Structure 1
Amino acid sequence: MSTDHLPELGFVQVEMQKLRTAVWRGTGNGTPLLFFNGIGANLEIAQPLGELLPDRDIITFDLPGIGGSPGPVTPYRPWWVAHAAKTVLLHYGFDRPVDVMGVSWGGGAAQQFAFQYQNRTRRLILCATSPGSIMVPGKIESLSKMADPRRYMDRNFLTENFKTLYGDEPSGAALFAARMTPPTRAGYVYQLMAMMGWTSLPFLPLLPHETLILAGDRDHIVPVANAKILKAMIRRAEINIFENAGHLFVLSKAREVIPVLKTFLDRPALTNKPARRFEPATA
């Protein structure tokens, strides 16, 4: 992990489960950013956000059995991930609305959080993600390798299959591997299972938030068509498609992505804000 802007690391107890957390403290007054990572990805992978968005607090955590979090105690679902995120936010004193960002699997968690805690969400950013189980699938060879946890445990496997997996150039494998901590097998499987049968399609039209959807035109896992579905279903969404970009474009093209994020996060609120929000009953 870079020493330029290191996070505060800690642990937060969420019922029976202990979660490893990270908070990058910002130097300005920007709205805090809650970040949900991709499947099997440890919180160190979010380090570029801390370095390139230094004006705002950034909060993230490792899911059970991922990174530095102990293995899962019980199976969990997306609603629990959103609840865990709220618990982490409150633990660190973030009791006002936050911006919410999710990448890949984490995009589903971000959608769930935005629906479950609408009044705790200011703006939503969805990267390389889909509406869940009802989606346009990626390439078979990519999906079969994605289900194999060796991509996190065997760096040779990752390097050899990087372009097939993600659609990104193999040169990006070293950057990804340098920040990678292998998940436990139980952690990886439980995270896969968490999204089985889940879809955001029924509630996407109810989301009132300004939403930025980002996609890579060479994404082998989540094709661009899914970003267009999200754009069509979310009332206040806009879309940005990066050229020559695979599934990991947030990492591989960070210098292009960050200005787009900053413009979206820093601009004044749009004037066509809905008058009221639907707040589901949640824990």
Structure 2
Amino acid sequence: MSDVGSATAADGFRIAYQMRGSGTPLVLLAGQANNHRWWDAVRGDFEDSCQTITMDWRGTGDSDRPDEVYSTQGFADDVVAVLDHLGIEVADVYGTSMGGRVAQWVAIRYPGRVRRLVLGCTSPGKKHGFERSQEIRRALARADQAGRDRILLDLMYTPGWLAEHPGPYDVLGDSTMQTYARGRHLVASNNHEAWEELPAIKAPTLILHGADDVFSPAANAAVLAERIPDAHAHVIPGARHAYFHEFQTTASPLVLDFLADGQTFS
């Protein structure tokens, strides 16, 4: 089954969603300044057993693009607005990068709505998490669009994989975004801080990270696993920020086993 439409958020703005497959609902949450295309390369891995639900963050894709303050808490409310619109009471939630930050708030603010939680290449916030270096921040801030894309690709994928996969790539941001919306997304992600509330997460949690991720350093995986009850971290050797794509033959089965209650951790 497939469905494309929009839900109305609490403040009246439209949030576009895309639903495919059948089975247990699985919400897939994309990274900062990206729309649902972030998941295109791996979404099919989940559709034999899951009803996958993606969405376009406000400011991206087919969602409304208000020029106002965005936050990871607010994005979490948008996720639940989509679930409410679809009549889904309980879902599994898998968020990567900024989507992982939003997923934390979904599980914290709406504990009865999340059955199982997967947090990928993400962090609890800068007060207790590990941030990318100032060198990376400065390079991304100085570069033109082509230069930023080259830097981001190096942060996302290994050189060998890039040499064999010339693109296009779905993780470099929504090219239709307006400048103000990109800025709003950056501030929302940078201002994320869920440390105090993380112990309130009730859902069993799997944390995934690439061992060679310096965009969101891999040390965040252990920090989250120690802070969230009933959580386990799995770090994938050799992987960078887009571990879920380049290493999908490792990552997707880990997620599917976890969601099926079939994974035994050691």
Counterpart among 219, 224, 228 of residue 234 in structure 1:
228
Counterpart among 13, 17, 21 of residue 21 in structure 1:
17
Q: For each residue in 1:122-141, what CA deviation from the matched residue of structure 2 results, as whole angstroms up to 9, or x when unmatched?
A: 11100000001322122333
State how far apart, in whole Å, the 1-side matches of 2:58 and 2:152 are: 25
The residue type equivalent to 2:248 in the other structure is A
Contact 1:205 1:233 in 2 (8 A): yes
**1:164, distance to aligned residue in structure 2 (A):** 4.2
Larger mean Cα displacement after TM superposition, 10-19 or 109-118: 10-19
State how far apart, in whole Å, the 2-side matches of 1:265 and 1:128 are: 18
> In the alignment, what sits opposite 2:100?
107
TM-score normalized with structure 1 length:
0.82
Q: 1:194 to 1:253 in 2, by over 3 A?
A: same
Contact 2:27 2:52 in 1 (8 A): yes
Corresponding residue SS for 1:122: strand
> In the alignment, what sits opposite 1:254?
248
> In the alignment, what sits opposite 1:116?
109
**Which segments of 5 or more consecutive residues in structure 2 lack a partner in the other structure?**
none
**1:47, distance to aligned residue in structure 2 (A):** 2.0
**1:233, distance to aligned residue in structure 2 (A):** 0.6
State how far apart, in whole Å, the 2-side matches of 1:21 and 1:133 are: 30
Corresponding residue SS for 1:176: coil
Corresponding residue SS for 1:240: strand
Q: 1:201 to 1:147 in 2, by over 3 A?
A: farther
Q: 1:129 to 1:17 in 2, by over 3 A?
A: same
State how far apart, in whole Å, the 2-side matches of 1:90 and 1:146 are: 37
Corresponding residue SS for 2:79: helix
State how far apart, in whole Å, the 2-side matches of 1:176 and 1:149 are: 19
> In the alignment, what sits opposite 2:4?
9
Corresponding residue SS for 1:203: helix
Contact 2:206 2:232 in 1 (8 A): yes
> In the alignment, what sits opposite 1:168?
158
**1:178, distance to aligned residue in structure 2 (A):** 8.6
Provide the identity percentage. Answer: 25
> In the alignment, what sits opposite 1:79?
73
Whether 1:220 and 2:214 are equivalent positions in the alignment is yes
Q: Name the Cα RMSD after superposition.
A: 2.5
TM-score normalized with structure 2 length:
0.87
**1:21, distance to aligned residue in structure 2 (A):** 1.2
Corresponding residue SS for 1:52: helix
State how far apart, in whole Å, the 1-side matches of 2:232 and 2:171 are: 32
**1:143, distance to aligned residue in structure 2 (A):** 2.9
State how far apart, in whole Å, the 1-side matches of 2:141 and 2:156 are: 13
Q: 1:162 to 1:178 in 2, by over 3 A?
A: closer
Contact 2:96 2:121 in 1 (8 A): yes
**1:66, distance to aligned residue in structure 2 (A):** 1.3
Q: 1:163 to 1:11 in 2, by over 3 A?
A: closer
- Number of aligned positions between the proteins: 257
Corresponding residue SS for 2:234: strand
Corresponding residue SS for 1:239: strand
State how far apart, in whole Å, the 2-side matches of 1:173 and 1:192 are: 27
Q: For each residue in 1:16-43, what CA deviation from the matched residue of structure 2 results, as whole angstroms up to 9, or x when unmatched?
A: 31222111122xx3x2111211001110
Contact 1:167 1:220 in 2 (8 A): no
**1:159, distance to aligned residue in structure 2 (A):** 5.2
Q: 1:148 to 1:106 in 2, by over 3 A?
A: farther
**1:144, distance to aligned residue in structure 2 (A):** 3.3
Contact 1:143 1:165 in 2 (8 A): no
State how far apart, in whole Å, the 2-side matches of 1:17 and 1:261 are: 32
State how far apart, in whole Å, the 2-side matches of 1:178 and 1:39 are: 9
Q: Displaced runs of 4+ in structure 1, greater than 6 A? A: none
**1:71, distance to aligned residue in structure 2 (A):** 1.6
State how far apart, in whole Å, the 2-side matches of 1:254 and 1:147 are: 30
Q: For each residue in 1:94-132, what CA deviation from the matched residue of structure 2 results, as whole angstroms up to 9, or x when unmatched?
A: 12x111111011111000000000011111100000001
